[in-house]
Amino acid sequence: MVLAPGGPELSRILLGLWRLGEWQLTPAQRLALVEQAVALGITSIDQADIYGGYTSEALFGEALALAPGLRQRLQIVSKCGIRLVHPNRPAHTIKHYDTGHAHLIASVEQSLNKLGTDYLDLLLIHRPDPLMEADEVAEAFGRLQRAGKVRYFGASNFTPAQFELLASRHALVTNQIELSVLHVPALDDGTLDQAQRLRCAPMIWSALAGGRLFGAADAQGLRVRAVLAQIAEVHAVTPAVIATAWVLRHPSRPLVLTGSGRIAAITEAVAATQLVLTREEWFAILAASTGGEVA
């Protein structure tokens, strides 16, 4: 689907590779996973410079190199702007954000190098940086775009005001944010209203609450699981499909990042794109999440 007016075309479900290093796959197995995802219609990949302690992009690049024709069939999203304290970055002494021109350019160069590609389809500023100078970021974006190194730009975890600020200096096509049946602030803090107003489809991370959905033993978790199980039975699908369909049902047309390395779970995310929940079902899940009916 087209992410925003004049924006890139991405698959509705993206393969999120935050946990790629944890899956302990050989390069050939990583490639097989991506090819299976593509066969399911997932052509878009979500990465970040910091994933896997600065290793995930290289692990993915290693797999891509085994199938040179594959890159053109994929859209690669990556992020930058966080500096982690990590053995792979010995110069970093405190975790902080850096949206300075030099860091953005250097970070993208490193991402391209590790991924083994000439361009990113989409680059996101990973977290809002209180020291962000919007003009400086826009200048770096312009330079990367003119050099053909990044095609489109966006933000992640930005408030509506932060998004508005950066969008006033350079075109943005998405805000990548958290939303799930266990985490609903984006529904009424203005984030999704802004996405709909601008027709910039949001990208959703932790749509299954990072796996907490399946184990959370608190009252909210128990309530939500009970309602998901009931609705799942009606539709003859799993609760994970219903939880993903709940996110997809929002009128801002969200895209969902699946975070699993199991093809069965990835298939469930794709299945959710075929299921449109009724208003009654959607609100029953919201009520289970918040602990009561809407006013």
Ligand X SMILES: NC(=O)c1ccc[n+]([C@@H]2O[C@H](COP(=O)([O-])OP(=O)(O)OC[C@H]3O[C@@H](n4cnc5c(N)ncnc54)[C@H](OP(=O)(O)O)[C@@H]3O)[C@@H](O)[C@H]2O)c1
Three-state SS letters, 108-166: HHHHHHHHCCCCEEEEEECCCCCCCCHHHHHHHHHHHHHCCCEEEEEEECCCHHHHHHH
Q: What are phi and psi of 138, to 5 degrees?
A: -60, -35
Q: How far is the CB of 19 from ligand X (least distance, A)?
A: 6
Stretch that binds ligand X, among 17-25, 33-41, 64-72, 166-174 (CB under 6 A): 17-25
Q: How far is the CB of 230 from ligand X (least distance, A)?
A: 17
Instruction: Indicate whether 261 belongs to the interface with ligand X (CB under 6 A).
Output: yes
Instruction: Indicate whether 262 belongs to the interface with ligand X (CB under 6 A).
Output: yes
Pick between residue 98 and residue 139 the one whose CB is nearest to ligand X: 98
Assign 206 to helix, strand or coil: coil
Instruction: Indicate whether 216 belongs to the interface with ligand X (CB under 6 A).
Output: no
Q: How far is the CB of 214 from ligand X (least distance, A)?
A: 4
Cα–Cα distance, 291 to 109 (Å, whole number): 47
Q: How far is the CB of 17 from ligand X (least distance, A)?
A: 6
Per CB under 6 A, the list member of 43, 78, 156, 267 interacting with ligand X is 156
Instruction: Indicate whether 95 belongs to the interface with ligand X (CB under 6 A).
Output: no
Nearest to 268 by CA among 293, 294, 243: 243
Instruction: Indicate whether 257 belongs to the interface with ligand X (CB under 6 A).
Output: yes
Stretch that binds ligand X, among 5-13, 190-198, 258-266, 270-278 (CB under 6 A): 258-266
| CA dihedral sign of residues 168, 174, 176, 178 | positive
Cα–Cα distance, 144 to 148 (Å, whole number): 6
Instruction: Indicate whether 49 belongs to the interface with ligand X (CB under 6 A).
Output: no
Q: What are phi and psi of 182, to 5 degrees?
A: -105, -5
Q: Give me the helix-helix angle, 263-272 and 239-248, nearest 10°.
A: 50
Does 54 qualify as catalytic in the annotation? no
Which amino acid belongs to residue 70? L
| Contact status, residue 239 vs residue 232, Cβ threshold 8 Å | yes
Stretch that binds ligand X, among 29-37, 133-141, 222-230, 253-261 (CB under 6 A): 253-261
Work out the burial of residue 130: count CB atoms within 10 Å of its CB; fewer than 13 is exposed, 13-18 middle, 19 or more buried.
Answer: exposed
Q: How far is the CB of 256 from ligand X (least distance, A)?
A: 8
Per CB under 6 A, the list member of 106, 216, 265, 275 interacting with ligand X is 265
Q: What is the DSSP letter of 85?
A: -
Per CB under 6 A, the list member of 152, 259, 270, 284 interacting with ligand X is 259
| Contact status, residue 206 vs residue 183, Cβ threshold 8 Å | yes
Instruction: Indicate whether 42 belongs to the interface with ligand X (CB under 6 A).
Output: no
Instruction: Indicate whether 208 belongs to the interface with ligand X (CB under 6 A).
Output: yes
Q: Give me the helix-helix angle, 27-39 and 263-272, nearest 10°.
A: 20
103 token code pair:
């860091």
Instruction: Indicate whether 141 belongs to the interface with ligand X (CB under 6 A).
Output: no
Site string for ligand X, 168-187 (x = CB under 6 A): --------x-----------
Q: How far is the CB of 226 from ligand X (least distance, A)?
A: 16
Per CB under 6 A, the list member of 152, 158, 205, 246 interacting with ligand X is 205
Q: In the complex, which residues of this chain contact ligand X (CB under 6 A)?
A: 16-19, 46, 156-157, 176, 205-211, 214, 240, 257-262, 265
